[in-house]
Every structure is written in C-alpha cells, then in structure tokens.
C-alpha cells in the first residue's frame, strides 16, 4: 500500500474527509499503480479518468460506511437561509 495515502474515515481522520482529501488519495493511488508521477501527454486522459473514477468510488465507499453507529461521512447541509 502506498504510505502517503491516509485513512479517510473517522475516528482515524479527525473530522470529515473533504473532496480535496479524497482526490489527493485517488491521485496517490493512481500514481502508485500506474508508476507515473506525471503521465506523458498521450496517457494524460486515461490517467485523469482513473483519478476521477477512484475518487468517485472512494466517496461512495465513505458515504456508505457506518463507523460505531454513525455514518463515516455526512451529506453537506444547505445553509440555514436556503432551507424550506
């Protein structure tokens, strides 16, 4: 496992994983398995698509996890003035 990928669920991560945290972990994963830190131009599209797919899968996983009786991630709430 890539040592720079951190655990993104509570209680390991204080607070909630942000989209930035998820994307950074996805990028590190794709870098590790592809062997490219920065892919060549002809591989950029496939590399970027893989990062996005891993980030989506990671967000879905975190949204579905239940940690000690609570969800690992909560849906962002609408601002008070936008609520019905």
Question: Hey, where are the domains in the chain?
Answer: 19-72
Please, which residues have CB within 8 angstroms of residue 55's CB and are 6 or more apart in sequence?
19, 22, 23, 25, 26
Mean pLDDT of the chain: 81
Residue 15, pLDDT above cutoff 80: no
How many other C-beta atoms lie within 10 A of the C-beta of residue 57? 13
Comparing 72 with 23, which gets the higher pLDDT? 23
pLDDT over 60 at 55, yes or no: yes
17: confidence class by pLDDT, cuts 50, 70, 90: confident
CA distance 21 to 45: 22
In the structure encoding, which two tokens stand for residue 48, read together?
Answer: 């970027």
- Given a cut of 50, is residue 79 above it in pLDDT? no
Q: Whole-angstrom Cα distance, residue 50 to residue 73? A: 23
Higher pLDDT, 15 or 63: 63
pLDDT score at 81: 47
């Amino acid at each position: 496992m890539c040592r720079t990928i951190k655990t993104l669920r509570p209680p390991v991560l204080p607070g909630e994983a942000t989209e930035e945290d998820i994307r950074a972990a996805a990028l590190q994963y794709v870098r590790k398995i592809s062997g490219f830190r920065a892919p060549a131009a002809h591989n950029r599209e496939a590399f970027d698509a893989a990062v996005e797919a891993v980030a989506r899968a990671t967000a879905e996983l975190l949204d579905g996890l239940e940690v000690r009786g609570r969800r690992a991630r909560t849906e962002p709430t609408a601002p008070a003035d936008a609520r019905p």
